[in-house]
Amino acid sequence: MTRLRVVVLAGGLSHERDVSLRSGARVVHALTSAGLEAIVRDADAAMLGLLRQERPDCVVPLLHGAAGEDGSLREVLELADVAYVGSTPAAARVAFDKPVAKHVVREAGLSTPDSVALRADTFREIGATAVLQALVQRLGLPLFVKPASGGSALGGTAVTCAEALPAAMVTCFSYGSVALIERCITGTEVAVPVLELAAGPQALPAVEIRPDGGVYDYRARYTAGATEFVVPAELPEATAAQCAEVAVAAHRALGLRDFCRVDVIVDSEGTVWFLEANVAPGMTETSLAPLSIQAAGLDVGQVFSSLVRRAVGRRRSDSVA
């Protein structure tokens, strides 16, 4: 088979730069082990020129945060006329905007916690105290406050009492201009990667998340040993099947492509609640997607090699059309 040349884009300028670089390094190693030529490149002012000069067969965008997941980078890759792994710009924009994504999946019949999205300027102009009181009256407690876009739990805070809500909002607005205040569902937190190859989207084994502090925040995500991951998740067979169905249904409803991770939570009654979808899942040594890939009996290099070849074939088909 032709030895394909792949550029993995990692880094960027978001708060998640370090995570992205670690993800990129791991995927480059995996692709190289699978027999492809792979190098990592930062997403900076030189990127477009380098892509035009080097003309790789495919690009794997692994930037986390706005630059890599809001569709903008994918628009640039479209302009460069280069094959790339992952969702289209439009689908990435929808998934990255958590309030919009929640609306889309709810319309598709999935359960997602009630929530309110507020811009920082609206929050200030209308009166913070009155708004916070209305939020608690409407959604109740506990709540979870997080940026409406972004990842790695940056800016997210669990709120169990009304007095803690103002500080949670301030923390959230330090990471983004829009806050998503969501009714906090207690239960088993689960991540379900979805892999889409020739047979269509299929859910990989669910990963159960057990943070030692009870909250799956940035520290719990990227500190080795801070969280216990159980894969496959220790769920009743019917519930595990429902998690898989919800993940695939969300993938389809949001128009995603190739590979994503859908985060859900299972409450005490067995209801599966959609939380969010990630179009560029982390691939670090503590990330969830690689654990699920391995539990499925697959190899990270195999998976990304298949996705690269799928993307190259898709670009060739588009060119012929």
Residue 218 a catalytic site member: no
Residue 282 a catalytic site member: yes
User: Which contiguous run of DSSP H or E holds residue 76?
Assistant: helix 72-79
Find the catalytic residue in 11, 115, 222, 287: 222
* Cα angle value 45/48/51 (rounded, 5°): 135
Find the catalytic residue in 278, 287, 305, 306: 278
Among candidate residues 7, 18, 40, 272, the one with its CA nearest the CA of residue 152: 18
- Taking the C-alpha atoms of residue 186 and residue 136, their distance in angstroms, rounded to an integer, is 17
**For residues 258 and 87, is the Cβ–Cβ distance under 8 A?**
yes
At position 292, the amino acid (one-letter code) is S
**For residues 63 and 15, is the Cβ–Cβ distance under 8 A?**
no
- Taking the C-alpha atoms of residue 241 and residue 143, their distance in angstroms, rounded to an integer, is 28
- Taking the C-alpha atoms of residue 256 and residue 89, their distance in angstroms, rounded to an integer, is 10
Q: Please, is 240 exposed, middle or buried when counting C-beta atoms within 10 Å of its C-beta (0-12, 13-18, 19+)?
A: buried
Residue 276 a catalytic site member: yes
Residues 6 or more apart whose Cβ sits within 8 Å of residue 161? 141
Find the catalytic residue in 276, 292, 306, 309: 276
Find the catalytic residue in 86, 263, 292, 301: 263
Q: Cα–chain-centroid distance for residue 251?
A: 11
Find the catalytic residue in 16, 97, 196, 258: 16
Find the catalytic residue in 12, 68, 282, 301: 282
Find the catalytic residue in 257, 261, 309, 310: 261
Dihedral sign computed on CA atoms, order 119, 125, 129, 135? negative
What is residue 225's three-state secondary structure?
A: coil
Q: Which residue bears the tokens 């005490």?
A: 268
Q: Please, is 242 exposed, middle or buried when counting C-beta atoms within 10 Å of its C-beta (0-12, 13-18, 19+)?
A: middle
Find the catalytic residue in 14, 152, 287, 292: 152
- Taking the C-alpha atoms of residue 268 and residue 271, their distance in angstroms, rounded to an integer, is 8
By annotation, the residues acting in catalysis are 16, 152, 222, 261, 263, 276, 278, 282
